[in-house]
Amino acid sequence: MDAEFPHPMKGITLKVISVLVFVCMSTLIKAAGTEIATGQITFYRSAFAMVPILGYLAFKGHLRTAFHTRDILGHLARGFIGILAMSFGFYGLVHLPLPEAIAIGYAMPLLAVVFAAFFLKETVRVYRWSAVLIGLVGVTIITWPRLTLLREGGFGSGEALGALAVLLSAALGAVAMVLVRKLIAKERTHTIVLYFSLSASCFSLLTLPFGWDPLPWNSFFLLMAAGFCGGVAQILLTQSYRYADMSTIAPFEYTSIILGLLIGYFLFDEVPTGVMLIGTAIVVAAGIFIIFREHQLGLERKGARKHVTPQG
């Protein structure tokens, strides 16, 4: 049993529950309707996420220290990029079938490998580069039928724009991941989580003059519940990393596609196409290979440290 992570099953359970709650959040946003301004959706998602986050921090006694930061500009940059990623992702979510939006979003960890290599100067060898390229081929297979609608319907095609929006969301999300990795070096986890919700709420308010309308009560409660779910899911995800290492729990992110397929079929009458399923299988396989390779490299680095002769 790993002394550092003594409860891997607890970590896996928390991860799977967090995935379930995130998918519930996406379902609630999709059910709220396609006529709501994206900035308005983003505000509700961010603002109401703070309710469980602040409650959890208060319960753990971290509320006061969570506001202490040494890099406010870093948090603002991460918040701005993150809110753009979220906005594009929500636009795609309401214009695409749920499982397709989830599957295209899997491009984010693939692109994060690329950005980490260029911006953080991390070493990425041929195995991971190959997996990234194969995974992006899978993303292309999923999105191609939607993107061809641009030739037929122009930029008036909601599905084509939705696919482009989710791709852009994945790219921006990968940039946000790089920024978070820089913040982790000097900031507490709960500080990063809190400042993201704060900055995202403030930035999304800037879109108030652009298409915000009074919400029907059912849409209001759906978006409020979506925000609350987002906050709960973030807490569960953060806690999962306390009980198991990332390489152990990361593959369980892909359970979201199973949930997305079931919810899309039974709630929204969305039937997945063969092309979408093939592309998704390729992306998931590439992602799992990257996680496996990261785990191998982590074990090799740990073994190398054990065999280094102490210098006295």
> pLDDT tens, 132-191?
999 999 999 999 888 776 655 555 567 888 999 999 999 999 999 889 888 888 888 889
Q: Which amino acid type is present at position 235?
A: I
- Highest mean pLDDT (candidates 7-11, 82-86, 127-131): 82-86
* Helix (H), strand (E) at residue 116: helix 107-119
Token code pair at residue 159: 């599905």
Distance (Å, rounded) from C-alpha 189 to C-alpha 239?
10
C-alpha distances in Å from residue 35, one per residue of 89, 214, 263: 15, 11, 21
Residues 222, 29: contact at Cβ < 8 Å? yes
**H helix and E strand count, the chain:** 14, 0
93 in Cβ contact with 27 (< 8 Å): no
Q: Which of 6-10, 32-36, 90-94, 259-263 has the lowest mean pLDDT?
A: 6-10
Q: How far apart are CA 93 and CA 109, in angstroms?
A: 18
106 vs 283: CA distance, rounded Å = 7
**CA separation for the pair 299, 85 (Å, rounded):** 33
Residue 312 pLDDT: 34
Q: Which pTM value belongs to this model? A: 0.86
